[in-house]
Structure 1
Amino acid sequence: MAVVAEEYYGHDEAGIRTAALCTESAVDAGAVPNASRRIKLIRERKVNSSAWRNIRLAFLPEGYPNSVTPDYLPFQTWDTLQGLSTYIRSMLSTQALLTGIGVGQNTASVLGATFQWFLRDFTGMLGGILFTLFKGSNLDSNAKQWRLTADFMNDIGMVLDLLSPMFPSVFVFMLCMGSLSRSITGVASGATRAALTQHFALRQNAADVSAKEGSQETLATMVGMLVGMLVARITSGHVLAIWGCFLILTAFHMYANYRAVSCLCLTSLNRERVSILLKAFVSSDKVLTPRQVAQREQILPLPFISFWNKWSVKTGGRYDRLIKFGVRLSSVDFGPREVHAGSWKCVHLCRSPQARDIG
């Protein structure tokens, strides 16, 4: 006799229907209480779903969408689009670099080109080490801002590469500065990607999320290189056409990056999010949700954020600078009144006789 104990309808990534069967021996279970029993699993796969299943397994984490946060898909969509524009532009900038080094010219020296390329790589490596030294510990807490900063620096590097052949006297200097900008991009982008991967992974599947992100980036790279080769061939020798395509793609690149970062709804706290939470709580006694905080958070690149923070403190917009954590309750001035000082609202708490200091 076979009895269906449980049945699961396949909503997983593989589209598999699973049935758990509890089977008893031929002896009547009522007559022989200790009759042997077995559990048998039957799995049925939909034949026509294998192609779509393989695509999902190649580019989406296992268990999607339940294994990642809701902001995963919109972020990855915009991130793939910005990556596509980057690889198309990289073909244009690489073409300009090779022209500046002297590829195709009879007067070009192999040793000279090798030395210029060495200086370029050496400057980039040194810049990456120095950037990690001074800013490495700040990348996790400001992942959104550093992500935009990384792409902004990448755009600067590509602009310098594209401009360098026009200024032969400072070609090597511009070559090195472009490499320096891209080294900052590499460090900041890689570090923030690791932080975002931890955010997306809901089932301790950070490795799977990272691997599938790599597949998506590889596909974008392949398509971008093919389209970039076509664009480079069409615009070869036409300076205005090259710059027109480059500027249009750069504008789209920054827009796509802004949209990607705007989709993020991070649940970790940093100074900016704490300031938003405290400001809302002091003004309205409400605790904002992560989505509400994300909508109010400044996501401009870091240089603009620094200026904003300095201006905001002067105008009374930064509550985290004026609130001190870890103080004893005995040091708080309790009372039944409420003090209003300008735009600040200080609410006094009532302390019970049983209250005591902690820490």
Structure 2
Amino acid sequence: MEASKSSSTEVILEEWNGSSSTKLSRTATITASPSLSIQRSGGRFHHVWRRVLQAFVPEGFPNSVTPDYVPFQVWDSLQGLSTYIRTMLSTQALLSAIGVGEKSATVIGATFQWFLRDLTGMLGGILFTFYQGSNLDSNAKMWRLIADLMNDLGMLMDLVSPLFPSAFVFVVCLGSLSRSFTGVASGATRAALTQHFALQSNAADISAKEGSQETLATMIGMALGMLLARITMGHALAIWFSFLSLTLFHIYANYKAVQCLALTSLNPERSSILLQHFLETGQVLSPEKVSRMEHVLPVWTTSWSSKSAKQIHMQVHLGVRVSSLNHSELMDLLHSAGSHYKKAKYVLVEKQGIVHATLHKDSTSADVLQSFFHALVMAKFTDKNKSLHLESQSWMDKHYEAFIQKLRSSGWKIERLLSPSIVWKAKWICGPLDAKMD
């Protein structure tokens, strides 16, 4: 009886495909009654297309990445395509200037010139990392754009090198130096952006799939570049027109790419925008709204703009070296440490509209973030005839925790402030004079 009941039970087996539980699709249904049958869902082309797509987009796409991933990658791929096409034109000019194809050219001469070009680029990359390495993470959007602009300048140097045969080595070394900045800044900012896109701790997958996208863009760009180089060979006007047109498109595509980014990390400028809006309205802006307000180009390039006057983060110096202060500033710092900041992990001193923040040697990332927001509040109150320390501390006591909670609920990452490395700190001891003497 039991065997008969078991044999009459129909089992249906379904096959599902997908790397994310929210994006599974049924691909086949298998039944064993009256005979084994397999019914496939969807066309064969659909399955092939899904497999091809998996080589270029992260697993779980689009739920595994931020909403700004797609527009950024589209514009980034377009600017990369433009770069690879122009590379063929600039490389053709560079090889011609070195003497490729000429009987009078020597192998050792061309090799030496190429060596000097590469050596200059290596040294430039090291120097750029030394001076700006710690600043790339805090201004990823700006440095991403600057990196590609420097690459444009480097390619331009290669293209004009045949026009200055007597200064050929100098020109190509300048171009290599410019591109070395590109390599460092682009690589560093790409790492920061990859972390931003990763919603499911899938930064490695996103980086790998970006490599596939870049490879595809490279192959297409090389093919189009060789075709363009073939067509424009011997026509200087056509070469320059093509190069300059593609360069203008490259700049535009890069600008649109970084403009799409809605970063959720806190850097000095985004912190300034958020705090000023909170002081005025009591509300916190979303990352998307702040991304439309922050500068993409360096502030000095838009100094004529009215919104640049509102950037109070320019009035804050974070991580000040104590021994660099003058006598009166040191007296103010010691007085503040003994009266207003006994239990704090930072000391703020205002001088001529600039707020100097000195961090304690035991300060944490939360203390650094708090010190910067406190300094911004003090900078905001400098135009009022009130006690800056008392007024700013009163605001911090009443509103800071609520401000931080609203930042967190709006999607901001409040774990730390992205700023250049703070290498100068201090330690202050407050207490009776005789106790300190012991």
Unaligned 5+ residue runs, structure 1?
20-42, 353-359
- Stretch of structure 1 that moved more, 49-58 or 142-151: 49-58
Larger RCO of the pair (alpha carbons < 8 Å, separation 6+): 1
* Equivalent position of 2:180 in the other structure: 183
Q: Which one of 217, 239, 242 corresponds to residue 239 of structure 2?
A: 242
Task: Tell me the distance in 2 between the aligned counterparts of 1:288 and 1:351.
Answer: 22
Residue 166, structure 1, aligned to residue 175, structure 2: no
The TM-score with structure 2 as length reference comes to 0.65
- Is the contact made by 1:15 and 1:45 (CA closer than 8 Å) also made in structure 2? no
The TM-score with structure 1 as length reference comes to 0.79
- Is the contact made by 2:90 and 2:155 (CA closer than 8 Å) also made in structure 1? yes
Closer, same or farther: CA 109–263 of 1 in aligned 2, 3 Å: same
Task: Tell me the distance in 2 between the aligned counterparts of 1:309 and 1:75.
Answer: 27
- Is the contact made by 1:16 and 1:46 (CA closer than 8 Å) also made in structure 2? no
Please give the per-residue CA displacement for 1:270-324, whole angstroms capped at 9, x wherever unaligned. Answer: 0110111122122222211111110101001xxx335557998994541563677
* Equivalent position of 2:211 in the other structure: 214
Superposition pairs for residues 7-26 of structure 1, below 5 Å? Answer: 12=19, 15-17=24-26
Closer, same or farther: CA 242–349 of 1 in aligned 2, 3 Å: closer
Number of paired residues?
320
Task: Tell me the distance in 1 between the aligned counterparts of 2:40 and 2:69.
Answer: 30
Unaligned 5+ residue runs, structure 2?
1-5, 29-38, 317-354, 358-369, 399-438
* Equivalent position of 1:263 in the other structure: 260
* Equivalent position of 2:124 in the other structure: 127
Please give the per-residue CA displacement for 1:180-220, whole angstroms capped at 9, x wherever unaligned. Answer: 11111011101111111111111111111001000000000
SS at match of 1:103: coil
Superposition pairs for residues 1-359 of structure 1, below 5 Å? Answer: 12=19, 15-17=24-26, 46=42, 48=44, 49-300=46-297, 304-306=298-300, 308=302, 315=309, 317-319=311-313, 321=315, 325-326=370-371, 341=384, 349=395
- Is the contact made by 2:302 and 2:308 (CA closer than 8 Å) also made in structure 1? no
Please give the per-residue CA displacement for 1:23-57, whole angstroms capped at 9, x wherever unaligned. Answer: xxxxxxxxxxxxxxxxxxxx987552321111221
* Equivalent position of 1:34 in the other structure: none
* Equivalent position of 1:31 in the other structure: none
- C-alpha displacement of 1:12: 5.0
Task: Tell me the distance in 1 between the aligned counterparts of 2:19 and 2:110.
Answer: 54
- Is the contact made by 1:153 and 1:185 (CA closer than 8 Å) also made in structure 2? yes
Closer, same or farther: CA 283–95 of 1 in aligned 2, 3 Å: same
Task: Tell me the distance in 1 between the aligned counterparts of 2:208 and 2:308.
Answer: 45
Task: Tell me the distance in 2 between the aligned counterparts of 1:3 and 1:141.
Answer: 61
Task: Tell me the distance in 2 between the aligned counterparts of 1:63 and 1:45.
Answer: 20
Closer, same or farther: CA 318–18 of 1 in aligned 2, 3 Å: same
